Amino acid sequence: MKRIIRIVLTGGPAAGKTTLISRILNEFKPENGWRVITIPETATELISGFGIRPFGGCMSMLAFQDFVIADQLHKEQLALKAAQVVDEENILIIYDRAVLDDKAYVTDEQFAEVLSHFDGRTEAEVLAGYDAVLHLVTCAKGAEFAYDLGNAARTESIEAAREMDDRTLRAWSGHRNLRVIDNSVNFDDKMRRAIREIYRIVGEPVPMMKKRKYLIEMPDIALITERYNAVALQMMQTYLLPTQPDVERRIRQQKNGEDYLYFYTEKHTMADGSKWATERAVSEKQYVRYLMECDSSMHSVRKVKHRFIYDGHRIEIDVYPFSGDRAVLFAYSDNEPAALPPEVTVIREVTGDPAYKNRHLATTQTLREV
């Protein structure tokens, strides 16, 4: 019996939807019984791909909404059909904005009129087609310093972004399962809270989020796989030449079951020394293009991540091809320190130690202190 969960990601400009989608793809994997189907933002596709836009004399905003809603409804139907034919039983459909987002750009009366063009649909009927809505608050509210990070083409002012965030939240206010994710701590915390909400929505235990890192002796991976049903994930991370000061760029290839996923990440160092990372999924063609920008002074970091549950919390063991006798273990738990499997021998804790971060490993290719 297929289980299909439909979640809308919405919010004002620069809210973090793209980064959240990449993290969802990392969390809900085929090897864990999940298939994630993503529906990209329709208005952007129409503007960039079809050349139609509600400005510059092309057409009115109202006429543009007809195109947007028609395309959105079509893609939503295709996603539901795809969910029925993929192998996995647990399907997560993620909408990067959806039909009610269009209401933020027109009056209530105009939106009802446009919606009626599609088999007489009502707003209540459309809302019933989504299981939950996550409203990610724009960075223009509470994280203004990060508003335009990673998007030099952003045109809305901070004031306009705030107004659009308010209008979007109002448009979705009628949904029975609306959850708001604000900027109260920092961006990583915002993403963690959003992922926790998704776990709650799908009815699965929320993973523990506090992370500690240990340098360990190379364990018997075959034994751990047998005893704890560990899943192996192949990854390769490549660092790119910088294009801006204080911005680290990297790409990652990740094998998910029989599929490959590709991600582009920017990590910004702020004036106070804090980090602000944005990430998005990219196509294989885009990934290959980014490879042409690799920093040749650094190696790509290849590893196999073995993930499993021990004593109710998540354990990950990273095994690197350049180290035959050592590995790195990550323990995620709200109870510190987390219990570790007896098959593991800890050399020392390296949480926060820069010598065991991927960027340093890309230079040294060793897990031994120099």
Chosen domain end from 161, 180, 202: 202
Contact yes or no for 265/250 (Cβ under 8 A): yes
pLDDT score for 208? 59
Residues 189 and 332 in one domain: no
pLDDT at 146 over 80: no
pLDDT score for 56? 64
pLDDT score for 199? 92
pLDDT score for 180? 93
Average pLDDT, whole number, for the chain?
A: 89
100-115 pLDDT, tens digit per residue, is 999 999 999 999 999 9
The total of structural domains in the chain comes to 2
**Phi and psi at residue 95, in whole multiples of 5°?**
-100, 120
pLDDT score for 131? 95
pLDDT at 320 over 90: yes
Using DSSP, state whether 150 is helix, strand or coil.
coil
Q: Which residues of 222-235 are buried (b: 16+ CB within 10 A; e: fewer)?
A: eebeeebebeebeb
Answer yes or no: is 42 within a domain. yes
User: Please, which residues have CB within 8 angstroms of residue 135's CB and are 6 or more apart in sequence?
Assistant: 10, 11, 168, 169, 172, 178, 179, 180, 181
Q: Which residues of 307-322 are buried (b: 16+ CB within 10 A; e: fewer)?
A: bbebeebbbbbbbbee
Chosen domain end from 169, 202, 235: 202
Residues 218 and 147 in one domain: no
Domain boundaries, position 315: 211-364
Residues 249 and 331 in one domain: yes
Average pLDDT on 42-57 reads 77
The region of weakest confidence among 89-98, 147-156, 167-176, 280-289 is: 147-156
pLDDT at 95 over 60: yes
Residues 191 and 325 in one domain: no
Answer yes or no: is 369 within a domain. no
User: Higher-confidence residue: 201 or 258?
Assistant: 201
Residues 86 and 119 in one domain: yes
- Assign residue 44 the CATH number of its domain: 3.40.50.300
Question: How far is residue 235's CA from residue 255's CA, in Å, rounded to a whole number?
Answer: 7
Average pLDDT on 255-275 reads 82
Going from the C-alpha of 187 to that of each of 105, 271, 276, the distances in angstroms are 27, 16, 7
Question: How far is residue 131's CA from residue 180's CA, in Å, rounded to a whole number?
Answer: 15
Residues 195 and 239 in one domain: no
pLDDT at 165 over 70: yes
pLDDT bucket at 71, cuts 50 / 70 / 90 = very high
User: What pTM does this model have?
Assistant: 0.76
Average pLDDT on 239-261 reads 89
Residues 309 and 222 in one domain: yes
Answer yes or no: is 180 within a domain. yes
24-39 pLDDT, tens digit per residue, is 998 898 877 899 999 9
pLDDT score for 153? 45
pLDDT bucket at 261, cuts 50 / 70 / 90 = confident
Residues 183 and 323 in one domain: no
- Assign residue 257 the CATH number of its domain: 2.40.320.10
pLDDT at 370 over 70: no
Answer yes or no: is 16 within a domain. yes
Residues 194 and 220 in one domain: no
Average pLDDT on 44-58 reads 75
Residues 50 and 158 in one domain: yes
The region of weakest confidence among 82-86, 203-207, 249-253, 349-353 is: 203-207
Answer yes or no: is 299 within a domain. yes
pLDDT bucket at 209, cuts 50 / 70 / 90 = low
Answer yes or no: is 339 within a domain. yes
User: Higher-confidence residue: 300 or 57?
Assistant: 300
324-356 pLDDT, tens digit per residue, is 999 999 998 876 678 899 999 999 999 999 999
Residues 12 and 111 in one domain: yes
CA neighbor of 23 nearest in space, from 188, 236, 230, 248: 188
pLDDT at 197 over 50: yes
pLDDT at 369 over 70: no
pLDDT score for 6? 96
Chosen domain end from 147, 180, 202: 202
Residues 151 and 122 in one domain: yes
Answer yes or no: is 370 within a domain. no
Answer yes or no: is 47 within a domain. yes
Burial (CB < 10 A; 0-12, 13-18, 19+), residue 116, is: exposed
pLDDT bucket at 54, cuts 50 / 70 / 90 = confident
